[in-house]
Each structure stands twice: as structure tokens, then as C-alpha cells.
Structure 1
């Protein structure tokens, strides 16, 4: 994950999607693709002005800002200093919408007012958590964040559709279990359902529309109490 501390420094300061590798063939995904993400998350979380929103692994805030606009308040958390600096410089709107530098598990264990959050998102990043860390994060969100009604885990690589992503010559055995690999840990829906059940959540699954750039090998999960 040190990649996300170093890679942003190689990008233009306004290349927000390039900084977080939201790209296809090295080019930032088109605006209509970003809008598909926004629509899916807003629908899945049923975001409204009464919600206080938490974005875990928020990156540079370019995606968070769409959801902040629909809510009464929000916080984005990420461990990458250059990404949080970009978020603060371009998207932060204190005191209602704030970005914080922290490891998400450390943050979740130490947030002083966890009860204020009603909806949460972890988009394109949950797969970079090893099994123990992923389980610990879901558990502490369930235990400490008592007002949290929905948690959206987005863009998860589907273990059952690995063959639609890897060509035989590009596949390295075991890479699907490596949280430090470029794609992270590949989990099947039943893996996410089991993690959710073990930590007190109920999981619902969704797939993006067919014209979404990653629809053929990823899925989303919505966790509820």
C-alpha cells in the first residue's frame, strides 16, 4: 500500500482520478463512469441531508465530495499523506466536511464521536485489507459506530470471476490472496457474507451496469445491521 503514498507524487496535482488509479489503460475513467459510481452508492446508501457520512480510504476526496454534497456532514479518512493533502487543498469544507490522515482501523478504534455517523463507504479499497484487518474493521464499526445503518463496500474483485480478468500468462498462483497485490484480495460473495455475519452485519450484493468499466469482474456489497 506504500504505492498510494508514492504514486500520487508522480501525477499532476489536478489529475484526481490518476492519483488514485481510477483509470483504464492508464487514462482517467470518463465522467459518465464516475457518475455511475456516484449513482450506485447514493442509491445503495439512500443518502440524504440528515445523514452524517464516513468515507473510509477516501483517497484524495474527489469521490467523497459527491456524497458530501448529499449529506449534512462528513469525514474522509485515508493513510496517504499526499492524497489527504490534495483532499484538504481541493475538497475540504470545514467545519462540515473534513479529511483526516489516519489508518482506517486505527481511526475506527479511536474516533471520539463514532455515534454521529449514519452511513459509510469503503470504495475500491476493502480488498487491500488482509483477512484479520478486514474482520477487525467490520467488527469495530458494528460495535462502536452505533448510529451506522449502512456500509457500502464498493468495487470488490470477484474471486468467482477471476478468469474474466486474468489471462493465463499473466496469472501468478496465490496472487488472489495477497492484499499487497495491485488488485488486492479477491473474495467471493460468500466470503463477504461470512465476514459480515461474523461481525454482526447482513450483506446484500449488487453488480454495476454492464457498460461500467469493471462490471465484468467486480461487485458491490451493502452491509446493514
Structure 2
């Protein structure tokens, strides 16, 4: 398999091209090239926490955490948390800004490598991957979901956020619809476009029950993205 972030070199380079304090620009959490407004960020934070049912007893794993600007808010609602990302620059920012007293909080690693490593903690109770799983091929995305299921035995809920919805791609592209090959490649600007039905099937194949939802209409991307909430399949013993 290829590494999970095929565009990682350009991803890291983009982050380095932004101002050190442009936290949303570094991770391309933008609209029309401008950082998202605070109300949009708050929607992401609150809706994700609610979907995960985060509590002070949880230990949260944030896959593809970027610079930790979202992670740090979710971690504050939990007893502990770890963020993982393949960008050296973004992990450097995450550690300096949000984990000066705990360098282990943010790990530099390709996410599947981390999930298969001997250093993986066994106490994670929740996991999130926001706006990033589409940059993996469906094969590798399935491998990540399978590794979460088999190697994180205490996980009760996983949230995969901001997935591009193939059935609603026309609402984003309009008359400029790209070729099907472009919608299928993790190397494109938005990554792989999944149908909700196919993503549910991918999750189930990896050992998860899955339901999908869309964000409230005031969310800037509600018209062409969806979220997935994963829970262990009933009676499935790994």
C-alpha cells in the first residue's frame, strides 16, 4: 500500500507557506481562500463532540490532527488525548502551541503506521478523523478502519467528518463537473468522493456499524459533505 497521505509533501509545503499564526489556513480549513469564521469552527467543534458523545472519562485519538487547533478543544472535554499527523511542520506547531508540557500528545506518524505500531495505546475510548479520510484510497481507508476496530479494543465510537458526498457532487461543481477518475483519486484537491451507501458498506466490512448524517444547514459545506458515526458491530468479537 501507498502511504496514507499521497499528497503529504505538498500538504506539508502548503502549511509552511502560511503565516505561523494562520492555523486554519495551514490545514486548508478555509472558504474562498479565507479562514473559516469562528461560528463555523464552533459548529465543527460542537457537532463533532456531540456525535462522539465526548465525556470527561474519554481518551480521544485524533487521526490526521494537523496543527492540533481542533484537537486541543476536544481534548479539553476528555481526560486525555493523542493527535497523529504525517506533517512534520504541523506536528511541530501542535506541540509548541498546544502541548508544551506534553510532547507525547501529538505524534508524527502516518496514521496507519501508528495504528499498527507497538507504541499504540490501548486505552482510547473514542476516535475522530475530521476532513482527512478522503485523502486515503478506499483500500487504505478500509485498512485504517479495520485497524481501529482490531487494535483499539476500548473504542465505543468513531467519528469520520466532512466526507465529500458523491451523490451531491453537482451541488459543489455545478457545470464544471470533473471526470469520474478525478472523483475517485485521493490526490485531487478534495480527495475521494464517497456515496453514503458505499461508505457505510466500507465501514461494515471493517467491523463497524455506521450511520451517516449531514451538518446543520448553516454549515458552509452541508450541501455537499456528510459525516459518519461508527460503533462496534453488535456481537462482533475480534
TM over 0.5: yes
Aligned match of 1:81: 88
C-alpha distance in structure 2 between counterparts of 1:158 and 1:220, whole Å: 9
Alignment correspondent of 2:197 = 190
CA distance in 2, matches of 1:6, 1:47: 33
Q: Deviations over 1:153-210 (max 9, x none)?
A: 0000001001001132352442110001000000011111111111110001111110
Question: What is the CA–CA distance in structure 1 between the aligned matches of 2:196 and 2:176, rounded to whole Å?
Answer: 26
What is the Cα deviation at residue 14 of structure 1? 0.5
Q: How many Å separate the matches in 2 of 1:192 and 1:209?
A: 20
Secondary structure in structure 2 of the residue aligned to 1:110: coil
Q: Residue deviations 1:98-157, cap 9 Å, x none?
A: 101000000000153432100000000000010111111111110010001111000000
Q: Distance in 2 between matches of 1:19 and 1:204?
A: 30
Q: Which residue of 2 aligns with 1:171?
A: 178
Of the three residues 23, 28, 41, the one matched with 1:34 is: 41
Retained in 2: the 8 A contact 1:88–1:98?
A: yes
Q: Which residue of 2 aligns with 1:128?
A: 135
Name the SS of the counterpart of 1:120 in structure 2: strand
Q: 2:160 and 2:105 mapped to 1: Cα distance?
A: 21
Q: TM-score, normalised by structure 1?
A: 0.96
- Partners of 2:146 and 2:201 in 1: how far apart? 12
Runs of 4+ more than 2 Å apart: 93-97, 111-114, 167-173
Q: Counterpart in 1 of 2:50? A: 43
Aligned residue number for residue 219 of structure 1? 226
Aligned twin of 1:102: 109
The TM-score normalised by the length of structure 2 is: 0.91
1:113–1:103 Cα change, 3 Å: closer
Verify the 8 A CA contact 1:77 1:99 in the aligned structure 2. Answer: yes
RMSD of Structure 2 on Structure 1 (CA): 1.3
The separation in 2 between residues aligned to 1:78 and 1:126, in whole angstroms, is 12
CA gap of 1:110–1:211, structure 2 versus 1, over 3 A, is same
Structure 2 stretches lacking a partner, 5+ long:
1-6, 233-238
C-alpha distance in 2, partners of 1:45/1:61? Answer: 18
Q: Distance in 1 between matches of 2:129 and 2:231?
A: 14
- In structure 2, the partner of 1:139 is 146
How many aligned positions are there? 225
- What are the superposed Cα offsets for residues 4-50 of structure 1, whole Å, 9 maximum, x if unpaired? 11001111100000000100010000000000001111100011111
